[in-house]
Amino acid sequence: MIYSYIRVSTSLQNLNNQMEEINRYCSLNDLKVDEQISIEISSRKDVRSRKISELVERLKSGDILIVTELSRLGRNTGEVIQLIDTLIKMNVEIRILKQNLFIKSHDPMNKMLITILSMFSEFERDIISQRTKESLQNLKDRGIKLGKPVGVIQSSKYDVDKDKIIELLTLGLSYRKVVRHLGYGSESSLFNYVRKRKLI
Protein backbone atom coordinates (compact mmCIF):
# COMPACT_ATOMS: atom_id res chain seq x y z
CA MET A 1 0.00 0.00 0.00
CA ILE A 2 1.01 3.61 -0.54
CA TYR A 3 0.58 6.06 2.35
CA SER A 4 1.05 9.82 2.49
CA TYR A 5 1.69 11.79 5.68
CA ILE A 6 0.82 15.49 5.67
CA ARG A 7 1.30 17.92 8.56
CA VAL A 8 1.12 21.69 8.96
CA SER A 9 2.02 23.54 12.14
CA THR A 10 -0.58 26.33 12.15
CA SER A 11 -3.91 27.32 10.63
CA LEU A 12 -1.95 29.87 8.54
CA GLN A 13 -0.47 26.98 6.57
CA ASN A 14 -2.49 24.88 4.18
CA LEU A 15 -2.76 21.08 4.09
CA ASN A 16 -3.90 21.32 0.47
CA ASN A 17 -0.47 22.54 -0.71
CA GLN A 18 1.18 19.32 0.45
CA MET A 19 -1.71 17.21 -0.87
CA GLU A 20 -1.39 18.80 -4.32
CA GLU A 21 2.38 18.27 -4.39
CA ILE A 22 1.97 14.58 -3.53
CA ASN A 23 -0.88 14.17 -6.02
CA ARG A 24 1.24 15.74 -8.80
CA TYR A 25 4.10 13.38 -8.00
CA CYS A 26 1.79 10.34 -8.01
CA SER A 27 0.17 11.40 -11.28
CA LEU A 28 3.54 11.77 -13.00
CA ASN A 29 4.72 8.40 -11.69
CA ASP A 30 1.50 6.43 -12.21
CA LEU A 31 0.97 5.91 -8.47
CA LYS A 32 -2.11 6.14 -6.26
CA VAL A 33 -2.17 6.95 -2.56
CA ASP A 34 -4.24 4.31 -0.77
CA GLU A 35 -4.39 6.07 2.57
CA GLN A 36 -3.61 9.60 3.71
CA ILE A 37 -2.85 10.75 7.25
CA SER A 38 -3.07 14.51 7.67
CA ILE A 39 -3.01 16.74 10.74
CA GLU A 40 -2.68 20.38 11.74
CA ILE A 41 -0.41 20.44 14.77
CA SER A 42 2.93 21.84 15.91
CA SER A 43 6.05 19.72 15.46
CA ARG A 44 6.72 20.32 19.17
CA LYS A 45 3.90 17.95 20.12
CA ASP A 46 4.69 14.29 20.89
CA VAL A 47 4.71 11.57 18.22
CA ARG A 48 1.27 10.24 19.21
CA SER A 49 -0.34 13.69 18.95
CA ARG A 50 1.27 14.15 15.53
CA LYS A 51 -0.11 10.74 14.44
CA ILE A 52 3.41 9.43 13.85
CA SER A 53 2.71 6.45 16.13
CA GLU A 54 -0.51 5.78 14.23
CA LEU A 55 1.41 5.95 10.95
CA VAL A 56 4.03 3.44 12.12
CA GLU A 57 1.31 1.09 13.39
CA ARG A 58 -0.42 1.09 9.98
CA LEU A 59 2.65 0.62 7.79
CA LYS A 60 3.68 -2.91 6.84
CA SER A 61 6.57 -4.52 4.98
CA GLY A 62 6.59 -3.51 1.32
CA ASP A 63 4.53 -0.33 1.84
CA ILE A 64 5.59 3.08 0.51
CA LEU A 65 5.41 6.30 2.54
CA ILE A 66 5.36 9.63 0.70
CA VAL A 67 6.01 12.99 2.40
CA THR A 68 6.78 16.37 0.89
CA GLU A 69 9.88 17.05 3.01
CA LEU A 70 12.01 15.73 5.86
CA SER A 71 10.75 18.26 8.42
CA ARG A 72 7.28 16.65 8.28
CA LEU A 73 8.71 13.51 9.92
CA GLY A 74 10.11 14.97 13.13
CA ARG A 75 10.83 17.99 15.29
CA ASN A 76 14.60 17.48 15.34
CA THR A 77 17.39 15.58 13.62
CA GLY A 78 17.44 12.74 16.13
CA GLU A 79 13.72 12.10 15.80
CA VAL A 80 13.82 12.10 11.99
CA ILE A 81 16.75 9.65 11.92
CA GLN A 82 15.10 7.38 14.49
CA LEU A 83 11.82 7.24 12.54
CA ILE A 84 13.57 6.54 9.24
CA ASP A 85 15.66 3.77 10.87
CA THR A 86 12.46 2.23 12.25
CA LEU A 87 10.74 2.31 8.86
CA ILE A 88 13.75 0.85 7.05
CA LYS A 89 13.82 -2.06 9.54
CA MET A 90 10.13 -2.58 8.74
CA ASN A 91 11.05 -2.77 5.01
CA VAL A 92 9.05 0.39 4.27
CA GLU A 93 10.21 2.59 1.40
CA ILE A 94 10.25 6.34 2.15
CA ARG A 95 9.94 8.93 -0.61
CA ILE A 96 10.75 12.53 0.35
CA LEU A 97 9.82 14.75 -2.55
CA LYS A 98 11.52 18.13 -1.99
CA GLN A 99 14.84 16.55 -1.13
CA ASN A 100 14.37 13.94 -3.91
CA LEU A 101 15.23 11.09 -1.53
CA PHE A 102 14.01 7.51 -2.04
CA ILE A 103 15.08 5.41 0.94
CA LYS A 104 14.50 1.66 1.19
CA SER A 105 17.70 0.28 2.66
CA HIS A 106 20.43 1.13 5.18
CA ASP A 107 22.70 3.11 2.87
CA PRO A 108 25.44 5.07 4.76
CA MET A 109 25.35 7.86 2.14
CA ASN A 110 21.59 8.22 2.53
CA LYS A 111 21.91 8.36 6.32
CA MET A 112 24.61 11.03 6.13
CA LEU A 113 22.55 13.12 3.71
CA ILE A 114 19.42 12.83 5.86
CA THR A 115 21.38 13.88 8.95
CA ILE A 116 22.81 16.95 7.20
CA LEU A 117 19.46 18.02 5.73
CA SER A 118 17.65 17.50 9.04
CA MET A 119 20.29 19.53 10.89
CA PHE A 120 19.89 22.41 8.43
CA SER A 121 16.09 22.26 8.81
CA GLU A 122 16.38 22.28 12.60
CA PHE A 123 18.90 25.14 12.50
CA GLU A 124 16.60 27.16 10.22
CA ARG A 125 13.68 26.70 12.65
CA ASP A 126 15.87 27.85 15.55
CA ILE A 127 16.97 30.95 13.62
CA ILE A 128 13.38 31.87 12.73
CA SER A 129 12.29 31.33 16.34
CA GLN A 130 15.12 33.52 17.64
CA ARG A 131 14.36 36.32 15.16
CA THR A 132 10.67 36.22 16.11
CA LYS A 133 11.50 36.51 19.82
CA GLU A 134 13.85 39.41 19.16
CA SER A 135 11.23 41.22 17.04
CA LEU A 136 8.54 40.76 19.71
CA GLN A 137 10.88 41.99 22.44
CA ASN A 138 11.73 45.02 20.32
CA LEU A 139 8.03 45.88 19.97
CA LYS A 140 7.53 45.47 23.73
CA ASP A 141 10.50 47.72 24.46
CA ARG A 142 8.88 50.38 22.26
CA GLY A 143 5.69 50.14 24.30
CA ILE A 144 3.62 48.46 21.60
CA LYS A 145 1.00 46.11 23.02
CA LEU A 146 0.97 42.67 21.45
CA GLY A 147 -1.86 40.25 20.87
CA LYS A 148 -5.46 40.68 19.88
CA PRO A 149 -7.70 43.07 21.84
CA VAL A 150 -9.52 41.52 24.80
CA GLY A 151 -12.87 40.03 23.81
CA VAL A 152 -12.12 39.83 20.09
CA ILE A 153 -12.74 36.41 18.51
CA GLN A 154 -10.64 35.74 15.44
CA SER A 155 -12.05 34.14 12.33
CA SER A 156 -11.67 30.37 12.05
CA LYS A 157 -11.53 27.74 9.34
CA TYR A 158 -14.62 26.24 10.97
CA ASP A 159 -16.74 29.36 10.32
CA VAL A 160 -17.79 28.16 6.87
CA ASP A 161 -19.28 24.99 8.41
CA LYS A 162 -20.64 26.55 11.61
CA ASP A 163 -24.28 25.61 10.99
CA LYS A 164 -23.34 22.05 10.05
CA ILE A 165 -21.19 21.73 13.20
CA ILE A 166 -24.05 22.92 15.42
CA GLU A 167 -26.45 20.51 13.71
CA LEU A 168 -24.16 17.49 14.07
CA LEU A 169 -23.32 18.20 17.72
CA THR A 170 -27.00 18.77 18.51
CA LEU A 171 -27.75 15.36 17.00
CA GLY A 172 -25.34 13.89 19.54
CA LEU A 173 -22.25 13.23 17.42
CA SER A 174 -18.93 13.39 19.25
CA TYR A 175 -16.32 16.00 18.34
CA ARG A 176 -14.17 13.22 16.87
CA LYS A 177 -16.98 12.10 14.55
CA VAL A 178 -17.77 15.69 13.54
CA VAL A 179 -14.11 16.24 12.57
CA ARG A 180 -14.18 13.05 10.50
CA HIS A 181 -17.39 14.19 8.83
CA LEU A 182 -15.88 17.59 7.99
CA GLY A 183 -12.67 16.03 6.69
CA TYR A 184 -10.34 18.54 8.38
CA GLY A 185 -9.30 19.94 11.76
CA SER A 186 -8.83 18.14 15.06
CA GLU A 187 -11.02 17.18 18.00
CA SER A 188 -9.36 19.66 20.37
CA SER A 189 -9.42 22.63 17.98
CA LEU A 190 -13.10 22.03 17.19
CA PHE A 191 -13.92 21.78 20.90
CA ASN A 192 -12.18 25.12 21.54
CA TYR A 193 -13.99 26.70 18.58
CA VAL A 194 -17.40 25.64 19.93
CA ARG A 195 -16.55 26.58 23.52
CA LYS A 196 -15.23 30.06 22.74
CA ARG A 197 -18.23 30.90 20.58
CA LYS A 198 -20.72 29.21 22.94
CA LEU A 199 -22.39 27.49 19.99
CA ILE A 200 -24.16 24.84 22.05
- How many residues are listed for the chain in this entry? 200
Q: Are 185 and 148 in contact (CB under 8 A)?
A: no
Dihedral angle sign, alpha carbons of residues 125, 128, 132, 133:
positive
What is the DSSP secondary structure assignment for residue 169, as one 8-state letter?
H
CA distance 60 to 51: 16
Radius of gyration of the chain (CA): 20
Q: Say if strands 64-67 and 35-40 run parallel, antiparallel, or are unpaired.
A: unpaired
Q: How far apart are CA 188 and CA 11, in angstroms?
A: 14
Q: Catalytic site residue 118? A: no
- Let me know if 96 is exposed, middle or buried by CB neighbors in 10 A (0-12, 13-18, 19+): buried
- The catalytic residue among 9, 38, 49, 186 is 9
Minimal CA–CA distance to 83: which of 109, 46, 126? 46
Give the closest residue to 84 by CA, choosing from 166, 98, 100, 101: 101
**Catalytic residue annotation:** 9
